[in-house]
Structure 1
Amino acid sequence: MDFTHINEQGRARMVDVSSKTDSERVAVARAVVRMQRKTIELIKSGGIKKGDVLAVAQVAGIMGAKQTSNLIPMCHPLLLTSVNVEFTIDEDNNCILIEAQVKTTGKTGVEMEALTAVSTAALTVYDMCKAVDRWMEITEVQLMEKDGGKSGHLKRELD
């Protein structure tokens, strides 16, 4: 089996994508932050002392996507053409669903950037709310959809 991120000496390398054709690439990822009911109420009412939780987490998610190649060693630096981070408050399940869509036109996909966006946004929600809810859980960080490149369009089937 050939490993694309290992060179002939068995050491790490960044994959050479120079021969690939540029194409539009899109990836959607999501994460869930589970919390106490009172934490959701504080977020909704603006009662968290650190500020507007979802506004800050949205900017953090965008920044995270832009910094992916600095955080994940084998990721290529990409010119992102769009990053959108959205939140859905699910009061029935005491959680916030975070979804990020990332786009580029290039030689490699943006799955890692989308996953980094939702992870960074979720960590920011945790950081801003930990004073009132230390036992929040960040769960279900997963790629939901990708499009572009050799593998084409793929979408996760939900149960």
Structure 2
Amino acid sequence: MSTFSHLNVGGEANMVDVSDKDVTKREATAEGYLYVSDNVITQISEAKIAKGDVFAVARVAGIQGAKRCSDLIPLCHPLALSKVDVNFEIEPAQSRIRATCFCKLSGKTGVEMEALTGVNVALLTLFDMCKAIDPAMRLDGIKVLEKKGGKTGYWTSQ
């Protein structure tokens, strides 16, 4: 069984020292869903949300969220992301909106937390912009889809 890397020998919270790790290209993609009413799907599709272009605003929010991950999650390393890409897909048959967040850098630690933070902030922004229409929306299915780089190489949830 592996030990928790974020605890020191005394069991106290500890930021992992990555200074001896190799710099490699690292990527991660996360996804999540916002389950919404048919009315929300219709109003987004017809660009009738009173607060404006919900995907444009949520995309910028998701990018900012990924970039600010270390400010929000204790013990995460601040990373110089070279790419963040946030996308949305309306899935009317499932009454949901799918969001993905892709993060990339050349560095000493992975970008899974940044991708997860980006997708969560994007979905929360969609929720905020649509809550007057459907306060019963819910977030679900948030996970890392795949990651690349570092000593573990490639990993996928499929």
Task: Tell me which interval the TM-score lies in, with the shorter structure as reference length.
Answer: over 0.9
Q: Which runs of 5+ in 2 are unaligned?
A: none
Between the aligned partners of 2:109 and 2:25, the Cα distance in structure 1 is: 9
Q: Which runs of 5+ in 1 are unaligned?
A: none
Between the aligned partners of 2:40 and 2:3, the Cα distance in structure 1 is: 48
3-state SS in 2 of match to 1:124? helix
**Deviation, structure 1 residue 81:** 0.3
3-state SS in 1 of match to 2:28? strand
- What whole-Å deviation, never above 9, does each CA across 1:102-134 have from its counterpart, x for those lacking one? 001000000000000000000000000000100
State the partner residue of 2:139. Answer: 138
**In the alignment, is residue 29 of structure 1 matched against residue 47 of structure 2?**
no
Between the aligned partners of 1:12 and 1:138, the Cα distance in structure 2 is: 29
- What whole-Å deviation, never above 9, does each CA across 1:2-32 have from its counterpart, x for those lacking one? 3211123321110000000000000000000
State the partner residue of 2:100. Answer: 99
* Count of aligned pairs: 157
Between the aligned partners of 1:36 and 1:86, the Cα distance in structure 2 is: 20
Between the aligned partners of 1:25 and 1:54, the Cα distance in structure 2 is: 26
State the partner residue of 1:118. Answer: 119
**Deviation, structure 1 residue 150:** 1.0
* TM alignment of 1:1-159, pairs within 5 A: 2-157=3-158
State the TM-score, normalized to the length of structure 1: 0.96
**How big is the alpha-carbon RMSD for the aligned residues of Structure 1 and Structure 2?**
0.9
Between the aligned partners of 1:3 and 1:31, the Cα distance in structure 2 is: 26
Give runs of ≥4 in structure 1 deviating > 2 Å. none
Between the aligned partners of 1:83 and 1:64, the Cα distance in structure 2 is: 10
3-state SS in 1 of match to 2:76? coil
